[in-house]
C-alpha cells in the first residue's frame, strides 16, 4: 500500500466518519434525554436520502404517506386523550400539527413540481417531510413508556426499527438510489484529489455540530434539554415536561439523521435498509463516548470511519466483522470505567 | 399577600401506594396562606411519599387535593409548577454539570414558557438571599459544598416565584451552622409571603419555625397541632425526639384539637 | 386443573402427526425449533434480566457445525474421524457453541445495564457476516446436501418423522429449565433480576449464575440449529442474522418472558402470524418482501405498552392457581456453625475511612462488636451509618483502615466471601424479589448452606437437600413471625414486614454476626416488641448484632452499647444511659436553632 492509497482511504474514512459522528451525536442526545437507545436513527438516514432521490426523480416519496398516516394516528390518540381529560384548548394544536401540517406538505409535494426545484429547496422539502416523523414516533412508541426501564425502551427501539425498515421496503421498494453530488468540483492537494462532495460532507457536519453546540449552550430550550439529561426529576420539578424534552430530542435526531442521509446520498447508493448499518456505526462512536460525551463520541465515530475504510482495503469481505467485533472491547472498557461512577453516586 | 382563600393547600383522605404496598393512609392536611406547616416523623413514615403525591410525582390511589382553593383533578408536575407550587426534593436534584447561574435559570423555565421574562430580577433577589450563590455563579453545581447545594436547590425553586414551597428535609446531612442558616431563610421566606410545607426529621428546629405541625407515623397522621404545642407534647418528646428517656407515660394518642386558623 | 390442561396439551401434541396435514406438521416443527431458542431467551432475559438480540447466531453455530462436518469432503486430517455423522455433528456444534458462548459471555456479561444487549447486537452481526464470508461454509449460498438424521436405523427424512424428535427435545428442555428454576441454583438465577448487590451479599456468585444461563440459552439455540440443519438439509446465513435474533426475543416477550410456557406460546403466535402475513401482505401491497416486519414491530410496541409481561400471564389468570403447594416444608435441620464464645470480640473496625471523591463519608471510625451483644450505631440521617455497613459487609470498599472479623482481615474481601465467613445483613432500602414468595426469598439467604450444583438441579436429583433448605427457610420465617405470609408474594407485604423478611433471610444464612439496617422502620408498636424479643433471643444464643436504628426507644431498650455518628465521625460511644446524657449527642440529635 503506497502513500497515495493511504491518503485516499483516509479521505473515505473521514467522509464516512463525519456522518457517523453526526449520528453518534444524535444517539447521545436521544439517550441522554429520553434513555432510549435509538436503534432507528439509521432509518432516518435512509428516509432522508430516499426522499430526496424520490423528489428529484419526480416521484411522490413514500415518506409523505408515512407522514400522513402517522399524523392521523397521533391526532386520533391525542384528540381522544384531550377530550377525556377535558382540555379542549389543546385541540387546535393537535389538529394543526398532525393533520393540517401533513396536508400542507402533501400539497407542496404534489403541486410544486419538486423535480424542477433548485437543490436547496429540494433539501428543505425533504426535511419538511422527514423531520416531523421524529416527534411523531416519540409520541406513538415511546411517550407511553417514558418511565419504563432502559431495556424495555431498547426493545421498543428495536421494534420501531423493524417496523420502519419494513415500511421503507414498502414505500421505496428494494432498489437503491443515488442522488447527484452537491458539487462536481475536485481539488488537487499534494498528490491526491479531494472531491467537492467530501468537503461538503465534512463542512456541513462541522457546521451542524457548531450549531448544536450553540443551541445547547446558549438557548433556554437547549439548556432545558441538558437539564433533563442530567436530572430528569429535577427538570420535571422546573416544569420541563418529559414529553416536550422527548419530542424535541427526537426532532433533532430526525433532523440530524435526514441531513446525514442527504449528505451521503451522492457518495453511496442507499437502499431501504442501508440506514441500519450506518446507524450502528454511529453507535460504535456513541458507545466510545459512553453514550454521554459528545466530543468523545464524535472522535470515536471518525475512528470507526477510518477503521472501516482501511479494513475494507485489506479484508473487504470481513469489513463488517472487524468493525462490529471491535465494539466488544470498547463496550467492556466503557462498562468497567462507568461502573465506578455508578458506585460512587 | 392577597389571597381570598384561607388555605393555600388542602389535602383530604390521601392514599398512596408503592406497588402493592400502601405507604400513606387517609392523610388529611392543610396549609394556610402565609403559613409554615411542618410534617415530622421517622424514616419510612411516608413523608416524602406525601410530598410526591401532592406535587404529582407519584400517582395517588384516592383523595382530594385542592391548591389555591381549586380542586386538582389531574395532578401533573408541570401543571402544578405552572400554578405556583415548587418542590425542593430531598436529593436536591441539581443539574450537576451546569453552572449555578444556569441551574437558577432553569428554575424560571416555566415562567419563561408562560411568557414572563423577569428572570434577571428574580435571580438578583435570590442572590440577595444567598450571597454565596452569587460568588459561585459560574461554578458547576456539582462542585458546590453540601450547604451551598441546598441553597442552590432552594434558590432554584424560588426562581419560579412559587406561592407554595414544598421542602423535603432541607437540613439533611448539613452542618449545624448551615442548618441554622437554612432555617433562617425559611423564616424569612414566610415574611416575604411564601407559604411553606416543610418535611423534617430535625423535629425541634422544624417545630420552632413552623406555625402548625403534623406527626406522621407508618403512613398515618398520628398527631397534629400548633407547632409550639407539639414541641411540648410529652408524646412527641418521648417517642419521637426520643432522647428524653422518659418511660412510656403518654399512652393515649389523643389528637390535640386545634383550629389551624388561630395560629395563622 | 393445571395438570389437566398440561395432559391435554401433551396428548394433542402427541397425536399431531396422526391427524394433521403436511403443512401443519411443518408449521409445528418450526414452532418447536423457534420455541427451543425462545426458551433460552426466557431463561436469559425474562428470568435472569439479561437481554440478548444475538441468539440467532448461536443457532447458526449449531447448524453450521453439523452441516460442515457431515458434508465436507476435504476435512483436515485431524478432523476426518468426526465427519459424516450428524450425532458427532451435534456434539461438535454444542461444544463449539459452548466455547464461543463462554468466550463471549466472559467478555460481555460483565457489561452493565444496556451495554450488554448492545454487545449482543455487535457479536450477532459479526457472526452473521462471518457465516456469509467464510468460503469453507459456502459463503452466502450456504451448504446443501446435509444428510438426514437416523434414529435406530430409521432415516428421518420426512417432517412427520422429525416432529417427535423436535418436540421431545423441546419438552425435555422445558422440563430441565423448570427444574432448574425451582432449585437453589434457580433462586440464585432469579435473584439476578433484583440487582447483584443483594445476591452477592447472600453469597451468590452472580457472575457464575449469569454465565450458566448464558450457556444454557446458547446450547438450546445450538440444538435448535442442529435440528434445523438436518430437517431442512440445507443451510445459508439468512436465518442466523440479527433480525431473526430480534424475532426470537420478540417471541419470548410477546409470549411472556417470565415463564417457560411463554416461550412456546410466543413461538407459536409469531411463527403462525409470520406464515399468515407472508401470504397475505404481498397480496395486499402488490409487491414481495418481508412486510411482516412492519406488523411485528408495531405489535411489539403495543405489547410492551399494554402488556409488558406478555400474553402468558393473561392466559394463566384464567386458570385457578394450583393449590397444595402451601404445605410448610419439613426437613432435617441443616448443620450449624459453631457460635463464638459470648463476650468474645468478633468484629473489629479500626480507623476506617471511606471517601467518595472529595466527600468523607466515614472518618476514622473505630469500634468493636462482641458475640452475644447488641451494638447500636445511631446518628442523624446522612451521618454515614449505612456507608459503614456497606464497608463492613463488603458491599462497598474501604478507602483506608482495617476491618477484622473473627480475627481475619476482611476489608479487601468481596461481599460473597464475607458472607461465607458468617456475617449476614439486611438493607436500609429493602432488596428482595417482589415476584417470588416469602419462602423463596428467605431461602436465598440459605444459599451458602447448600452445595448441589446446576446438573443435579436440572434433573431434580437434589430434592433432599432442597427440602432441608426450604425447611430451614420456613423455620426462620416462623421465628420472625411471618408464618402466615409464607406463600405470599414478597412484594405484597407491608414495608415493615418486608424488612422483617430480610431479617429472616439473613438468619437463614446461620450467621454469627448480624447487621441490621433500620429493622424497626415502618413497624407498628406490637411488631417492634416482637422484633425486640427476637433480637434478645438471638443475643442470648450468642449472636453478635450490629444495629442501625432511628427509633430511640427501640435502641435504648435493646442495645448493650451504643456508638453515635455524625458527619461520618464517631462522636460518642458507651452504655445507652451514658450516651443519652452526652451533650455532643444531644446537640447532634436535637440539632436545634437556639
Pick B113's closest partner by Cβ from A231, A237, A239: A239
Cβ proximity of B13 and B26 under 8 Å: yes
Sign, CA torsion C231/C236/C239/C241: positive
Distance from CA of C83 to the nearest CA of B (A): 57
Backbone angles phi, psi at C570, to 5 degrees: -80, 120
Q: Does B106 touch chain A (CB under 8 A)?
A: yes
Q: Residue C441 contacts by C-beta under 8 Å, 6 or more apart in sequence? A: C432, C433, C490, C501, C505
Q: Of the ranges A301-305, B102-106, C380-384, which is most confident?
A: B102-106
Q: Flag if A220 and B109 touch (Cβ within 8 Å).
A: yes
Tell whether B68 lies on the interface with A, counting CB pairs under 8 A.
no
Kindly list the residues from chain A whose CB atom is less than 8 angstroms away from the CB atom of residue C309: none
pLDDT reading at A190 higher than 80? no
Give the pLDDT band of residue B61 (cuts 50, 70, 90).
Answer: confident
pLDDT of residue B232: 84
Q: C501: closest CA among C426, C551, C446, C428?
A: C426
Over range A160-177, report the average pLDDT. Answer: 92
Binary contact (B43, C495; C-beta < 8 A): no
pLDDT in tens, A205-228: 999 989 999 999 999 999 999 999
Q: Work out the pLDDT band at A342, boundaries 50, 70, 90.
A: very low
Higher-pLDDT residue of A311, C594: A311
Does B106 contact A237 at a Cβ distance shorter than 8 Å?
Answer: no
Q: How far apart are CA B147 and CA B136, in angstroms?
A: 13
pTM score, whole prediction:
0.86
Q: Which cell numbers hold the place of C281? A: 401482505
Shortest Cα distance, chain A CAs vs residue B109, angstroms: 6
DSSP letters, C216-284, are HHHHHHHHHHHHHHHHHSEE-SGGGSHHHHHHHHHHHHHH-TTSHHHHHHHHHHHHHHHHHHHHHHHHH
CB of A227 within 8 Å of a chain B CB? The answer is: yes
Mutate to test the interface with C, among A32, A69, A140, A155 (most CBs of C within 10 A): A155
B171 contacts on C by Cβ (under 8 Å) = 591
Residue A62, pLDDT > 80, answer yes
Among the partner residues A85, A223, A234, nearest to B94 by beta-carbon distance: A234
ipTM score: 0.89
Exposed e or buried b per residue across B236-251, where buried means at least 16 C-beta atoms within 10 angstroms of its C-beta: bbbbbbbbbeeeeeee
CATH class of the B7-84+163-263 domain in this structure: alpha beta
Q: How many CB pairs under 8 A join B and C?
A: 79
Contact B175 C567 (CB under 8 A): yes
**Where are the domain boundaries for CATH 3.40.50.300 in chain B?**
7-84+163-263
Q: Where are the alpha helices (DSSP H) in C112-205?
A: 115-133, 159-181, 184-191, 196-201
Q: Decide if C521 and B173 are in contact by the 8 Å CB cutoff.
A: no
CB-CB under 8 Å, C550 with B43: yes
d(CA A244, CA C305): 20
Question: Is CATH 3.40.50.300 what the domain over C345-590 is classified as, yes or no?
Answer: yes
Reply yes or no on whether the pLDDT at B261 is more than 50: no
CB contact at 8 A, C331 and C465: no
Facing residue for A162 by CB, picked from C119, C297, C304: C297
| Closest residue on chain A to B160 (Cα) | A238
Helices (H), C358-462: 385-393, 415-420, 438-445, 454-458
For the ranges A53-62, B233-242, C422-431, C540-549, which has the lowest average pLDDT?
A: B233-242
Residue B2 has pLDDT above 60, yes or no: no
Q: Are B104 and B159 in contact (CB under 8 A)?
A: yes
Q: How far apart are CA C557 and CA C239, in angstroms?
A: 68
The full set of domain ranges for chain C reads 21-316, 345-590
Q: Give residue-wise pLDDT tens across range A119-162.
A: 999 999 999 999 999 999 999 999 999 888 888 899 999 999 99
Classified as helix, coil or strand, B175 is: coil
Residue A53 has pLDDT above 70, yes or no: yes
A237/B55 Cβ within 8 A: yes
Chain A residues whose beta carbon lies within 8 Å of the beta carbon of residue B98: 223, 226-227, 230
Q: CATH assignment of C21-316?
A: 1.10.3470
- Chain-chain contact of A165 with C285 (C-beta, under 8 angstroms): no
Set of chain C residues whose Cβ sits within 8 Å of the Cβ of B90? none
Q: Kindly list the structural domains of chain A, giving each domain's residue range(s) and its CATH number in brackets, ordered by start.
A: 3-334 (1.10.3470)
C129: helix, strand or coil:
helix
Q: What is the pLDDT of residue A338?
A: 60
- What pLDDT is stored for residue B70 in this prediction? 86
Q: What pLDDT digit, counting tens, does each position of B145-172 carry?
A: 888 899 999 999 999 999 999 999 898 7
Residues of chain C falling short of pLDDT 70? 112, 321-325, 358, 588-594
In chain C, residues with a C-beta closer than 8 Å to the C-beta of A161 are 297
Cell of A181: 453530488
Residue from the list C111, C122, C357 with its beta carbon closest to the beta carbon of A344: C357
CB spacing of A231 vs B102 below 8 angstroms: no
The span from the first CA to the last CA of chain B, in angstroms, equals 13
CB distance from B95 to chain A under 8 Å?
yes
Rounded distance, CA A318 to CA A322, Å? 6
Interface residue A239 vs chain B (CB under 8 A): yes
Closest-CA residue of chain A to C357: A344
The mean of the pLDDT values for chain B is: 83
Interface touch B109/A233, C-beta < 8 Å: no
Q: What is the pLDDT of residue C334?
A: 85
Instruction: State the Cα–Cα distance between residues A115 and A51, nearest whole angstrom.
Output: 12
Q: Rounded CA gap, A142 and B188, in Å?
A: 44
Q: What is the model's pLDDT at position C325?
A: 63
Q: What is the mean pLDDT of residues B185-195?
A: 91
Is residue A145 less than 8 Å (CB to CB) from chain C? yes
- Please tell me the distance from the alpha carbon of residue B127 to that of residue B121, in angstroms, as a whole number: 10
CA-based nearest distance C250→chain B, Å: 26
The phi and psi torsions of C521 (rounded to 5 degrees) equal -60, 135
Phi, psi angles (nearest 5°) of residue B226? -55, 145
Best-predicted range by mean pLDDT among A169-183, A230-244, C2-16? A230-244
Amino acid at each position: 500500500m503506497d502513500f497515495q492509497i493511504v491518503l485516499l482511504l483516509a479521505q473515505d474514512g473521514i467522509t464516512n466518519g463525519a456522518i457517523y459522528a453526526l449520528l453518534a451525536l444524535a444517539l447521545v442526545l436521544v439517550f441522554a434525554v429520553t434513555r432510549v437507545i435509538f436503534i432507528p436513527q439509521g432509518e432516518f438516514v435512509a428516509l432522508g436520502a430516499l426522499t430526496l432521490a424520490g423528489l428529484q426523480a419526480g416521484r411522490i416519496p413514500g415518506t409523505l404517506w408515512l407522514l400522513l398516516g402517522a399524523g392521523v394516528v397521533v391526532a386520533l390518540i391525542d384528540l381522544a386523550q384531550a377530550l377525556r381529560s377535558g382540555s379542549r384548548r389543546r385541540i387546535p394544536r393537535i389538529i394543526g400539527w398532525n393533520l393540517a401540517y401533513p396536508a400542507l406538505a402533501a400539497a407542496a409535494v404534489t403541486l410544486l413540481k419538486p423535480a424542477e426545484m433548485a437543490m436547496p429547496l429540494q433539501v428543505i422539502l425533504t426535511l419538511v417531510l422527514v423531520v416531523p416523523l421524529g416527534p411523531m414516533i416519540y409520541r406513538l412508541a415511546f411517550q407511553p413508556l417514558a418511565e419504563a426501564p432502559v431495556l424495555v425502551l431498547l426493545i421498543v427501539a428495536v421494534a420501531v426499527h423493524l417496523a420502519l425498515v419494513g415500511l421503507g421496503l414498502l414505500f421505496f421498494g428494494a432498489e437503491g438510489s443515488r442522488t447527484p453530488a452537491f458539487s462536481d468540483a475536485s481539488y488537487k492537494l499534494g498528490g491526491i484529489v479531494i472531491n467537492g462532495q467530501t468537503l461538503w460532507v465534512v463542512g456541513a457536519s462541522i457546521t451542524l455540530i457548531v450549531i448544536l453546540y450553540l443551541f445547547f449552550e446558549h438557548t433556554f430550550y437547549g439548556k432545558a434539554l441538558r437539564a433533563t439529561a442530567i436530572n430528569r426529576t429535577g427538570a420535571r420539578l422546573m416544569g420541563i415536561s418529559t414529553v416536550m424534552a422527548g419530542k424535541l430530542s427526537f426532532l433533532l435526531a430526525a433532523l440530524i439523521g435526514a441531513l446525514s442521509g442527504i449528505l451521503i446520498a451522492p457518495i453511496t447508493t442507499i437502499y431501504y435498509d442501508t440506514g441500519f448499518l450506518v446507524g450502528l456505526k454511529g453507535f460504535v462512536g456513541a458507545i466510545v463516548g459512553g453514550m454521554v460525551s459528545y466530543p468523545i463520541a464524535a472522535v470515536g465515530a471518525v475512528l470507526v470511519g477510518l477503521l472501516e475504510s482501511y479494513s475494507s482495503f485489506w479484508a473487504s469481505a470481513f469489513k463488517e466483522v472487524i468493525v462490529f467485533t471491535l465494539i466488544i472491547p470498547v463496550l467492556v472498557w466503557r462498562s468497567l470505567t462507568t461502573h465506578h461512577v455508578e458506585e460512587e453516586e | 399577600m392577597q389571597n381570598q382563600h384561607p388555605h393555600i393547600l388542602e389535602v383530604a383522605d390521601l392514599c398512596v401506594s408503592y406497588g402493592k404496598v400502601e405507604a400513606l393512609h387517609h392523610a388529611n392536611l392543610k396549609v394556610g396562606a402565609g403559613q409554615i406547616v411542618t410534617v415530622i416523623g421517622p424514616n419510612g413514615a411516608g413523608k416524602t411519599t406525601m410530598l410526591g403525591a401532592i406535587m404529582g410525582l407519584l400517582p395517588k390511589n384516592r383523595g382530594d387535593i385542592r391548591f389555591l382553593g381549586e380542586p386538582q383533578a389531574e395532578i401533573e408536575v408541570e401543571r402544578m409548577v405552572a400554578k405556583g407550587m415548587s418542590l425542593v426534593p430531598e436529593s436536591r436534584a441539581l443539574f450537576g454539570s451546569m453552572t449555578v447561574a444556569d441551574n437558577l435559570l432553569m428554575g424560571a423555565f416555566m415562567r419563561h414558557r408562560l411568557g414572563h421574562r423577569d428572570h434577571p430580577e428574580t435571580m438578583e433577589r435570590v442572590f440577595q438571599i444567598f450571597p454565596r450563590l452569587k460568588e459561585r455563579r459560574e461554578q458547576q453545581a456539582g462542585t458546590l459544598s453540601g450547604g451551598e447545594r441546598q441553597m442552590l436547590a432552594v434558590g432554584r425553586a424560588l426562581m419560579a416565584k412559587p406561592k407554595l414551597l414544598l421542602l423535603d428535609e432541607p437540613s439533611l446531612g448539613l452542618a449545624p451552622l448551615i442548618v441554622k442558616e437554612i432555617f433562617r431563610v425559611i423564616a424569612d421566606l414566610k415574611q416575604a409571603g411564601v407559604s411553606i410545607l416543610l418535611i423534617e426529621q430535625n423535629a425541634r428546629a422544624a417545630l420552632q419555625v413552623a406555625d402548625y405541625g403534623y406527626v406522621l407515623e407508618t403512613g398515618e397522621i398520628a398527631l397534629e397541632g400548633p407547632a409550639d404545642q407539639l414541641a411540648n407534647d410529652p408524646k412527641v418528646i418521648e417517642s419521637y425526639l426520643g432522647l428524653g428517656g422518659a418511660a412510656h407515660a403518654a399512652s393515649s394518642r389523643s389528637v390535640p384539637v386545634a383550629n389551624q386558623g388561630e395560629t395563622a | 386443573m393445571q395438570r389437566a390442561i398440561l395432559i391435554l396439551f401433551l396428548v394433542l401434541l402427541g397425536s399431531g402427526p396422526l391427524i394433521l396435514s403436511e403443512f401443519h406438521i411443518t408449521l409445528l416443527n418450526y414452532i418447536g425449533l423457534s420455541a427451543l431458542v425462545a426458551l433460552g431467551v426466557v431463561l436469559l432475559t425474562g428470568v435472569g434480566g439479561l437481554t440478548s438480540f444475538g441468539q440467532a447466531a448461536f443457532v447458526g453455530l449449531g447448524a453450521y457445525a453439523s452441516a460442515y462436518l457431515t458434508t465436507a469432503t476435504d476435512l483436515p486430517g485431524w478432523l476426518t474421524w468426526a465427519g459424516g455423522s450428524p450425532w458427532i455433528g451435534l456434539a461438535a456444534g454444542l461444544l463449539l457453541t459452548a466455547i464461543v458462548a463462554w468466550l463471549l459471555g466472559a467478555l460481555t456479561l460483565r457489561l452493565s445495564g444496556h451495554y450488554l444487549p448492545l454487545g449482543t447486537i455487535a457479536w450477532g452481526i459479526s457472526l452473521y457476516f462471518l457465516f456469509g464470508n467464510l468460503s469453507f461454509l459456502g459463503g452466502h449460498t450456504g451448504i446443501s446436501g446435509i444428510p438426514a438424521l437416523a434414529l435406530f436405523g430409521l432415516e428421518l427424512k420426512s417432517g412427520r418423522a422429525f416432529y417427535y424428535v423436535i418436540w421431545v427435545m423441546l419438552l425435555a428442555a422445558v422440563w430441565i429449565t423448570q427444574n432448574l428454576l425451582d432449585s437453589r441454583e434457580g433462586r440464585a438465577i432469579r435473584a439476578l433480576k433484583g440487582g447483584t448487590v443483594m445476591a452477592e451479599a447472600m453469597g451468590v456468585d452472580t457472575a457464575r449464575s449469569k454465565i450458566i444461563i448464558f450457556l444454557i440459552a446458547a446450547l438450546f439455540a445450538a440444538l435448535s440449529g442442529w435440528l434445523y440443519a438436518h430437517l431442512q438439509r440445507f443451510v445459508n446465513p439468512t436465518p442466523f442474522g440479527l433480525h431473526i435474533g430480534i424475532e426470537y426475543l420478540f417471541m419470548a416477550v410477546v409470549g411472556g418472558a417470565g415463564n417457560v410456557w411463554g416461550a412456546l406460546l410466543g413461538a407459536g403466535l409469531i411463527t403462525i402470524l409470520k406464515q399468515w402475513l407472508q401470504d397475505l401482505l404481498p397480496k395486499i401491497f402488490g409487491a414481495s418482501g418481508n412486510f411482516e416486519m412492519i406488523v411485528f414491530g408495531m405489535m411489539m410496541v403495543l405489547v410492551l405498552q399494554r402488556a409488558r409481561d406478555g400474553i402468558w400471564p393473561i392466559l394463566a389468570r384464567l386458570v385457578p392457581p394450583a393449590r397444595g403447594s402451601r404445605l410448610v416444608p419439613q426437613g432435617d435441620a441443616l448443620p450449624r456453625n459453631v457460635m463464638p464464645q459470648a463476650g468474645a470480640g468478633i468484629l473489629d473496625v479500626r480507623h476506617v475511612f471511606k471517601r467518595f471523591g472529595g466527600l468523607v463519608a466515614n472518618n476514622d471510625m473505630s469500634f468493636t462488636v462482641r458475640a452475644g451483644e447488641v451494638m447500636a450505631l445511631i446518628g442523624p440521617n446522612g451521618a454515614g451509618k449505612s456507608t459503614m455497613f456497606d464497608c463492613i459487609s463488603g458491599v462497598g470498599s474501604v478507602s483506608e483502615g482495617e476491618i477484622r472479623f473473627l480475627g481475619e482481615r476482611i476489608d479487601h474481601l468481596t461481599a460473597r466471601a464475607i458472607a461465607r465467613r458468617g456475617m449476614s445483613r439486611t438493607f436500609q432500602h429493602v432488596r428482595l424479589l417482589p415476584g417470588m414468595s416469602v419462602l423463596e426469598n428467605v431461602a436465598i439467604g440459605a444459599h451458602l448452606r447448600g452445595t448441589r450444583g446446576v446438573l443435579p438441579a436440572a434433573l431434580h436429583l437434589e430434592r433432599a437437600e432442597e427440602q432441608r433448605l426450604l425447611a430451614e427457610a420456613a423455620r426462620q420465617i416462623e421465628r420472625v413471625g411471618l408464618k402466615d405470609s409464607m406463600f405470599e408474594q414478597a412484594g405484597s407485604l407491608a414495608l415493615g414486614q418486608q424488612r422483617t423478611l430480610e431479617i429472616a433471610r439473613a438468619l437463614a444464612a446461620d450467621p454469627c454476626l448480624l447487621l441490621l439496617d433500620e429493622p424497626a422502620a415502618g413497624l407498628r408498636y406490637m411488631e417492634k416488641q416482637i422484633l425486640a424479643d427476637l433480637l434478645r433471643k438471638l443475643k442470648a444464643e450468642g449472636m453478635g448484632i450490629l444495629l442501625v436504628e432511628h427509633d430511640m426507644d427501640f435502641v435504648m431498650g435493646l442495645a448493650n452499647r451504643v456508638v453515635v455518628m455524625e458527619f461520618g465521625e464517631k462522636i460518642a460511644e458507651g452504655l445507652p444511659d451514658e450516651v443519652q446524657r452526652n451533650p455532643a449527642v444531644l446537640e447532634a440529635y436535637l440539632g436545634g436553632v437556639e
